[in-house]
């Protein structure tokens, strides 16, 4: 219940999703019993659920799937990614990547998300001849999958993407093998980084980090910061966005 004596939309939506804890569910149901306003909203939401599931879902799902497929298919082609230079395959072999955890990056259609000032870092993967899909916590990647990167520098001028695997091996993915971060072509737009990494046969987890800065930073300094703390690396002038990955056998 909020300070104004009603259930918030969030609480009502979570109740419908059965995502509240048992005590929260009891509290919410108890409130619904005694509050006409909230009961009305709960009833409306359930009516919308029925309407959505009976009519809207079936009518719109094909369009949604087509849109999603088109957007994913366009990811790698837009970047003109040239999958795998042999050297990158070897580097990835030394790294072993795969699936992300943690809260989602703050990208997306920026006009609707409305965030400014936060650099973002997203990963996408491509498996065989199938389409491109975003790498999320529930997605396990396989050896041979290829991963690509998308960033929004939010004004930062320099970028370096690196990884540190479970054994602590540090590799620079972008610019591949660089000793220092490189200037970005456009500091205000979302960028799809050229190139991609093909995952090797090593299974396990590792972290990939995008390091944004106003001045060029040395890869060695970034490596030291990651070794000091992979969860919360710190380096003067650097803004880190960390992703964790796991790779499993198909």
Using CB under 8 A as the criterion, which residues of the chain lie in contact with other proteins when the complex forms? 2-4, 6-10, 13-14, 16-17, 19, 44-45, 48-49, 51-53, 56-57, 59-61, 63-65, 67-69, 71-72, 100-109, 111-115, 118, 122, 127-131, 133-134, 136-139
Q: Least CB distance from residue 134 to other proteins, whole Å?
A: 5
Q: Least CB distance from residue 59 to other proteins, whole Å?
A: 7
Report the residue number, 17 or 185, with the smaller CB distance to other proteins.
Answer: 17
Q: Is 53 exposed, middle or buried (0-12, 13-18, 19+ CB in 10 A)?
A: exposed
Report the residue number, 185 or 249, with the smaller CB distance to other proteins.
Answer: 249
Nearest partner of 165 among 93, 218, 222, judged by Cα: 93
Strands (E), 177-225: 182-183, 191-192, 197-198, 204-213
Q: How many CB atoms lie within 10 A of CB 111?
A: 6
Collect all residues with Cβ–Cβ distance below 8 Å to 169 and sequence separation of at least 6: 94, 95
Collect all residues with Cβ–Cβ distance below 8 Å to 240 and sequence separation of at least 6: 209, 210, 211, 212, 225, 233, 234
Alpha carbon distance 157, 188 (integer Å) = 9
Alpha helices per DSSP H over the chain: 9-16, 22-34, 36-51, 57-79, 86-93, 110-113, 219-228
Q: Least CB distance from residue 81 to other proteins, whole Å?
A: 18
Q: Classify 131 as helix, strand or coil.
A: coil
Q: Least CB distance from residue 23 to other proteins, whole Å?
A: 16
Report the residue number, 6 or 218, with the smaller CB distance to other proteins.
Answer: 6
Q: Least CB distance from residue 89 to other proteins, whole Å?
A: 20
Q: Least CB distance from residue 73 to other proteins, whole Å?
A: 10
Report the residue number, 183 or 231, with the smaller CB distance to other proteins.
Answer: 231
* Bridge-based pairing state of the strands 120-126 and 182-183: unpaired
Report the residue number, 99 or 158, with the smaller CB distance to other proteins.
Answer: 99
Tokens coding 197:
């990494």
Report the residue number, 121 or 158, with the smaller CB distance to other proteins.
Answer: 121
């Amino acid at each position: 219940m909020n300070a104004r004596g009603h259930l918030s939309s969030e609480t009502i939506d979570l109740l419908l999703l059965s995502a509240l804890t048992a005590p929260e569910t009891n509290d919410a149901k108890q409130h619904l019993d005694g509050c006409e306003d909230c009961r009305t909203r709960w009833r409306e939401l359930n009516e919308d659920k029925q309407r959505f599931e009976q009519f809207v879902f079936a009518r719109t799902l094909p369009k949604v799937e087509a849109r999603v497929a088109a957007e994913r298919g366009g990811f790698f082609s837009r970047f003109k990614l040239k999958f795998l230079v042999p050297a990158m395959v070897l580097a990835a072999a030394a790294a072993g990547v795969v699936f992300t955890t943690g809260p989602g990056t703050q990208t997306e259609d920026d006009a609707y998300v409305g965030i400014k000032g936060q650099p973002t870092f997203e990963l996408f993967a491509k498996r065989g001849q199938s389409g491109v899909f975003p790498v999320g916590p529930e997605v396990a990647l396989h050896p041979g999958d290829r991963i690509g990167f998308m960033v929004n520098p939010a004004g930062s001028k320099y970028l370096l993407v690196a990884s540190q695997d479970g054994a602590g091996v540090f590799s620079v993915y972008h610019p591949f093998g660089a000793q220092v971060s490189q200037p970005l072509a456009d500091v205000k737009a979302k960028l799809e980084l050229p190139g991609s990494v093909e995952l090797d046969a090593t299974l396990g987890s590792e972290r990939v980090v995008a390091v944004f800065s106003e001045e060029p930073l040395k890869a060695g300094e970034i490596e030291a910061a990651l070794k000091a703390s992979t969860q919360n690396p710190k380096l003067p002038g650097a803004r880190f966005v960390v992703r964790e990955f796991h790779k499993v056998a198909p």
